[in-house]
Structure 1
Amino acid sequence: MTTPLLEVTDLRTTFHTPRGDVAAVDGVSLSLAPGETLGIVGESGSGKSVLGRTLMGLITQGPTTTVTGSVKLAGQDVHAMTAKQRRTLWGPTVAMVFQDPMTSLNPVKKVGTHLTEALRLQLKLDRKAARERATELLRQVGIPEPARRLDQYPHELSGGMRQRVVIAMALACDPQLLIADEPTTALDVTVQKQILDLLAQLSQERQMAIILVSHDLGAVAGRTDRTQVMYAGRVVETSATAEVFGSPLHPYSDALLASIPQLDAAPHSRLRAIEGRPPNMASPPPGCRFAPRCARADDLCRTEMPQLRDPRPGGGAVPHTAACHLPLLDGRIPVGAPVTEEDH
């Protein structure tokens, strides 16, 4: 059995705010093998980005933050390390593609400086070798005239090109684990495919594990081995990607999939949406946090927090767990449909 590259156990990240404590990540556990790609999906505010930053060690214990649980990366406990020790991991062991390239790049530093700093610090390359490597990285992510771009500032590049620079920075030191937080947000469809193809190729060649955080369910469906669905800081469903997308067990997962526009839908058809709003995380509802928006919810759902389990009789060939008292064992239901006795 392959030793996991990443092991996360009961991770909780809580921010202390004037309105109360906010558990942005609430009891998340996962494991990831070398070369494996894990997709994490969910609405904005579900805790995906906070989870990624906590795994990196960018969010740690402090006066306004409490982090509990365990994050072991390549056998090392990330949150037991000092800040200096964690910095040695960033680049060769783990790297992150941040969601917003506008705030990920220093506006007073040239693109070449952004790329060569890590190469010289972590890989000990000299100035010439670092610049050659930086040029090749920009070429790999599809930036034209890469040598010239090294001498430009971020504001001289388009949003899509800045995003590609951020991806190149993350790949610079050949990380064992890449956390990609919406890596193709600012890119057009053609470039999106190029970038996702590149990540898949590098994952295969280098046995690089990838955590792909995305709102693009299509990208996750076609590019990941397993998928975790997050809602209000918790994992509500996890399995092989084909299982989650083909036979979702949690009503929230089903609702997300139902909200994808369909090519075969009649002209002028209404887009389907999930009714209601995500909960106030400073004062979440008791029981299942999706219950106020769920057509299947009953009194048990509103009072008792469900735990991740495989609800299928006898299980299945592939582990498939969902945190739901009333999982969709009877097939999919329309979003917002009334609950019937048969549904139970």
Structure 2
Amino acid sequence: MNDQAVLEVEDLRTEFRTPRGVVRAVDGVSLSLRSGETLGIVGESGSGKSVLGRTIMGLVTSDPTTTVTGTVRIGGHDVHAASAKERRSMWGTQVAMVFQDPMTSLNPVKRVGTHLTEALRLHLRLDKKVAKQRATDLLRQVGIPDPARRMTQFPHELSGGMRQRVVIAMALCCDPKLLIADEPTTALDVTVQKQILDLLTSLAESRQMATILISHDLGAVAGRTDRVQVMYAGRVVERSETADVFDGPRHPYTEGLLASIPRLSDPPHTTLRTIVGSPPNMADPPAGCRFAPRCPYAQDRCRAEQPELVDVGVAGRSHVAACHYALEEVG
């Protein structure tokens, strides 16, 4: 694995001003990612995962209702210090994104081939014939049968899984250094989900891309990521190597997420464990630890004092958690 940092995020904050107050969707997130490394970002809906991905991409623009602070560097380039034109030149060549719903990522009145050749001709300055051949090869690489015929079809003529493969081909066509996959298997059946996730893993390994896999499904990141970052209410609550998070979670929220996964070894009709309560109102989050109202281990200090990320790793292994009692065994 290359030690060069492809992505560096420092104290990133994304705030939206709404009629109900300021929503801090991303609240002080820092991370780094090297070439060939895959980071899984997990958490419930509303935890800030997707907003984090879009902010890293530079898709969350600063307007009168939005404020973005902190630093995002991709390949050494400061994303938010760049002009709109400079950011557009980075999309595809430096960083690319696979969005949740492939149907909304594709223009319904443009043929599949046009989606791919436009980016190739714009960013790589390829002529029409070479761009068409490269686009056909890309469709073949992502496992689409009869790619020459698919080039002439419209998105609605493809299945959901095929459309997602087209979106992946679009994201990879200009060989980006960083790929962000935001819930890439939403609305796909289980068999196709596995195919798409396996495809992303294989392509990331063969191209030595830095990859962020955003998901609410812990099973999707198990075995496919090097590290896992758990988010809750806009903040990082735990981060470590994937095996360490799954084998020994040190934050009660992570423990709850893992406990809610159904297991084949459970007898029939076993009641799934759930995390009590609901995520907080991000326009008016609770004082102290934001997970405290739902935490079975919460104490007075948790409700009064916001915990910082601290190193709870053993044997020199990096493992951080934002919990006042993370050094104690939870559960």
TM-score normalised by L of structure 1: 0.92
Range 247-256 or range 120-129, more displaced: 120-129
Q: Which runs of 5+ in 2 are unaligned?
A: none
Other-structure match for 2:39: 38
* 2: CA distance, partners of 1:111 / 1:212: 25
**Superposed CA offset, 1:170-192 (max 9, x none):** 11111110001112224344433
Q: Which runs of 5+ in 1 are unaligned?
A: 334-344
Q: Percent identity?
A: 72
**Superposed CA offset, 1:28-57 (max 9, x none):** 000001111000000011010000000001
Q: How does 1:69-148 map to 2 (within 5 A)?
A: 69-148=70-149
Q: How does 1:206-217 map to 2 (within 5 A)?
A: 206-217=207-218
**Counterpart residue identity of residue 241, structure 2:** A
Q: Is the 8 A contact 1:297 1:326 kept in 2?
A: no
* 1: CA distance, partners of 2:312 / 2:36: 29
Other-structure match for 2:184: 183
Q: Is the 8 A contact 1:248 1:328 kept in 2?
A: no
Q: How does 1:186-205 map to 2 (within 5 A)?
A: 186-205=187-206
Q: Is the 8 A contact 1:96 1:179 kept in 2?
A: yes
* 1: CA distance, partners of 2:233 / 2:89: 32
Matched, 1:289 2:310: no
Q: Secondary structure at the match of 2:223?
A: helix
* 1: CA distance, partners of 2:212 / 2:273: 28
**Superposed CA offset, 1:124-147 (max 9, x none):** 111111111212222222222221
* 2: CA distance, partners of 1:65 / 1:40: 23
Q: Is the 8 A contact 1:8 1:70 kept in 2?
A: yes
Q: Is the 8 A contact 2:139 2:147 kept in 1?
A: yes
Q: Is the 8 A contact 1:167 1:183 kept in 2?
A: no
Q: Secondary structure at the match of 2:39?
A: strand
Other-structure match for 1:156: 157
* 2: CA distance, partners of 1:187 / 1:146: 21
* 1: CA distance, partners of 2:191 / 2:103: 21
Matched, 1:322 2:321: yes
**Superposed CA offset, 1:3-47 (max 9, x none):** 311110000000111111101000000000111100000001101
**Superposed CA offset, 1:158-211 (max 9, x none):** 222222211111111111100011122243444333333332333233221000
Q: Is the 8 A contact 2:312 2:327 kept in 1?
A: no
* 2: CA distance, partners of 1:153 / 1:242: 42
**Counterpart residue identity of residue 20, structure 2:** R
Q: Is the 8 A contact 2:15 2:24 kept in 1?
A: yes
Q: How many residues align?
A: 330
Other-structure match for 1:53: 54
Q: Secondary structure at the match of 1:11?
A: strand
Q: Secondary structure at the match of 1:222?
A: coil
Q: Secondary structure at the match of 1:325?
A: coil
1:215 Cα offset (Å): 2.1
1:328 Cα offset (Å): 6.4
CA RMSD, 1 decimal = 1.5
